[in-house]
Amino acid sequence: MKRTLKIGLVVLVVGLITLVAGWYGHGFQDVTFNQHRRPELVNTKTVKHNMAAFDDLQVDVKDCQVRLKQGDKYSVSMRTTSKSVPTVKMVGKMLVIKQAHPTNSVTGWSFGDNEGGLFGFGSITKDGLPNRTIVITVPKDKHLQQVKMHTETGALRLTDVNVSDLTVSAGDNISLEKMGQVSHLQATANDGRVEMSDLTAMNPSVTAESVSLSNVTLNQGTFKVTDDTFTMQNDGFSGIVNVMNNGGDNKVWGADKNKGYQLHGEDESTLFDQHSDSDGTLQINPDAPDQLRLTTTAGGNSVQAN
């Protein structure tokens, strides 16, 4: 038994040393499987384009993280596998980016590729970017008319850009930050969350596993939450805003007591000084023109003032 234990410890130590050596030697790399189902190393490629001015943007990719942000000029920077580089072209005043084929890769512990997270994919709220990334920049004060962005398995992040008509969908998280006033907004995160901050949205339609709003002004709107929490913090609203949550709690901080609120929950709910037990309904200012209607089938509601 002692001899077996010693051998096991030796094998463990050798394995750990090999693991560390592989890490420092950049041995953790993406692999893909060819038509014969044999693994192959994935060769990454970085492509940069300086673009002419454009008013509209259309992005349709398979497995890239995509970021649209403010920059010094119109540009597109892509880092992806050599066999799945998206096409970039101008159609009139519209920039079109499409990826015909996914990478079909299995990502190893790519610490060097993305220090913000494991397996080459980090939190979209961090600056760590994975090995399959598209970054689009537009100059300061540019106002884009129509933007449509879709990634099947990646995430989307839009920061410091002005867009009138915005439609975004992703298999992962969507983050919208400092975007001024968006006249039309539709966002769908099939297997992730939607985070919005420091913007005004006119009648948005949002569907996600969870939704987080911070310093957002809403003019009407519909939110559908499928698996987790809906949160609003220091947000204003006008008209009718509907929230339907099938997976968790609805939480609002910094609420205006002069507006109307209707709460329906399966668990305990709180509306300022009012409280209800399970399956309760709470309401205040039912005749107010501005109404926030919170409904959850799998949790409770909480609305609190500052």
For the chain, helix, strand, coil in percent to 5 are 10, 55, 40
List pLDDT tens digits, range 192-251.
Answer: 999 999 999 999 999 999 999 999 999 999 999 998 999 999 889 999 999 999 989 999
Look at residue 83 and tell me if it is in a domain.
Answer: no
For residues 52 and 96, what is the distance between their CA atoms, to the nearest angstrom? Answer: 12
Look at residue 165 and tell me if it is in a domain.
Answer: no
Q: What is the pTM of this model?
A: 0.79
pLDDT, residue 205, reads 97
Look at residue 15 and tell me if it is in a domain.
Answer: yes
Of the candidates 210, 112, 192, the one whose C-alpha atom is nearest the C-alpha of residue 156 is 192
Look at residue 20 and tell me if it is in a domain.
Answer: yes
Question: What's the structural domain count of the chain?
Answer: 1
On the CB side of 204, CA atoms within 13 Å amount to 28
pLDDT band for position 302 (cuts 50, 70, 90): very high
Residue 185 has pLDDT above 50, yes or no: yes
List pLDDT tens digits, range 238-296.
Answer: 999 999 999 899 999 999 999 999 999 888 889 998 888 777 789 999 999 999 999 99
- Which is more confidently placed, 171 or 116? 171
Look at residue 125 and tell me if it is in a domain.
Answer: no
For residues 11 and 75, what is the distance between their CA atoms, to the nearest angstrom? Answer: 51
Look at residue 9 and tell me if it is in a domain.
Answer: yes
Structural domain of 6: 2-30
Look at residue 14 and tell me if it is in a domain.
Answer: yes
Look at residue 162 and tell me if it is in a domain.
Answer: no
Residue 139, phi then psi, degrees to nearest 5: -65, 160
